[in-house]
Amino acid sequence: DMSKIMKKSNKAIVKHISSFLEYCEVEKGLANLTIKNYHRFLSPFEAWLTKQKLFKLLPHELSQKHIWDYRLHLSRSNLQKSTQNYYLIALRSLLAYFAEKDISSLPPDKIKLSKNKDGKKINFLSLDKIEKLLLAPNIKNVAGLRDRAILEVLFSTGLRVAELVNLDRDQINLEVLNNNKNKDLELVVIGKGNHPRTVYLSDRAIHWLIKYLEKRDDNDSALFINMMNRKIVVSRQISTRSIENMIKKYCKMKGLPITTTPHTIRHSYATDLLEQGVDLRTIQEFLGHRNLVTTQIYTHVTSKHLRDVHRAFHSGGRLKNE
């Protein structure tokens, strides 16, 4: 909105940092850990300003040249590219805060992130490997049915394993599911930092959930339970460790990468959506990432795919004249 009147602040940038952190807490409702991180990631910028005798620099005096010099300073440190990016993202958030508060300064998009050569290698399985994993459990017994349902739900929703183990049985109404065989199901989960989001179960996942729940003969409130131990008086809710071990077991059995974890399935879910052309913002919603930067780790997976799409559909062949 260009009609906003931006005002010049006469308070130095470094003096705005504590108000920015309060804003993150009160207005944006960010988790304590996130706020601590912002604080930590902004301190190198503060130190750099001090060293450059720019401690009194006002928001509207911050120039592209300052940003460039700071980036240069970071790149000459022996920090990993990903860490440098965290510092830059924090600075970008500070500039976004200035914009939000109508304080004249550089627009946040003037801060470009470092190209991440040493970036996280995303561990994901191609669709045929995912299928191998999903088909691995022996569905003749109830523990196998439970495992199949867990794997199907993980791949259908992209849930974090901690979110999956916390699902309650009363979030799934069997009668309703049985009567609406080809309906999909929405579940609300509480993600990191207590943020609720909606995830969606595919027909396939619902099919295996029904099969598993029909075989349950207990009244435990947890959706996924430990089958072995019937002696537990409190809930037999399955542990995240059990799910990790279960996935390792099936991967060994099927000759799949032994590095596969529940998170690999979450990555595979996101990668599959990307390859079908779903945009990052939407995937960010599905995964419950608070920050699009977290979602951006997927972009390298599909940049080749996007290039091929561009070549196929937008190579200029439909334009008539040279």
pLDDT in tens, 242-262: 999 999 999 999 999 988 999
The mean pLDDT of 281-310, rounded to a whole number, is: 71
Task: Give yes or no: 241 in active site.
Answer: no
Question: How many CB atoms within 10 Å of residue 306?
Answer: 13
pLDDT category of residue 4 using cuts at 50, 70 and 90 = low
Is 215 designated active site? no
Give me the catalytic one of 86, 250, 269, 298: 298
pLDDT above 90 coverage of the chain, percent: 43
Nearest C-alpha neighbor of 114 from the set 77, 160, 156 = 77
SS (H, E, C) 151-162: HHHHHHHCCCHH
Mean pLDDT score of the chain: 84
298 is catalytic: yes
C-alpha torsion angle, residues 285, 286, 292, 298 (rounded to 10): -160
Q: Rounded to whole angstroms, how far apart are CA atoms 143 and 138?
A: 8
What is d(CA 279, CA 263) in angstroms, rounded to the nearest whole number?
A: 20
For residues 135 and 207, the answer to whether their CB atoms sit within 8 Å is no
- Where residue 188 falls among pLDDT bands split at 50, 70, 90? confident
High-pLDDT (> 70) share of the chain, %: 84
d(CA 265, CA 290): 20
Q: Active site residue: 160, 212, 236, 250, which one?
A: 160
Q: What is the spatial distance between Cα 7 and Cα 156, in angstroms, rounded to a whole number?
A: 48
For tokens 């879910």, what's the residue?
269
End-to-end Cα spacing for the chain:
39
On the 0-12 / 13-18 / 19+ scale of CB atoms within 10 A, 54 is middle
Which residue is catalytic, options 71, 148, 266, 267?
Answer: 266
The 10s digit of each residue's pLDDT in 211-226 is 999 999 888 899 999 9
97 counts as catalytic: no
Query: Where is average pLDDT lowest: 81-90, 182-191, 248-257, 304-313?
Result: 304-313
- 289 counts as catalytic: yes
- For residue 181, the model assigns a pLDDT of 60
Do the Cβ atoms of 134 and 264 come closer than 8 Å?
no
Cα dihedral value 219, 224, 226, 231, nearest 10: -20
pLDDT at 254: 95
Give the pLDDT score at 138.
Answer: 96
Lowest mean pLDDT among 103-112, 114-123, 135-144: 114-123
Contact present, 24 and 71 (Cβ < 8 Å): no
**192 in active site:** yes
Residue 284, pLDDT score: 81
Token representation of residue 161 = 């394993």
Q: How confident is the model at residue 240 (pLDDT cuts 50, 70, 90)?
A: very high
A 10 A CB-CB count for 172 gives 18
136-150, 209-223, 231-245, 260-274 — which is least confidently predicted?
231-245
Does the pLDDT of residue 13 top 90, yes or no?
A: yes
How confident is the model at residue 113, as a pLDDT?
A: 76
Candidates 192, 195, 197, 215; catalytic one = 192
More confident call, 134 vs 175: 134
Is the separation of the CB atoms in 172 and 213 below 8 Å?
A: yes
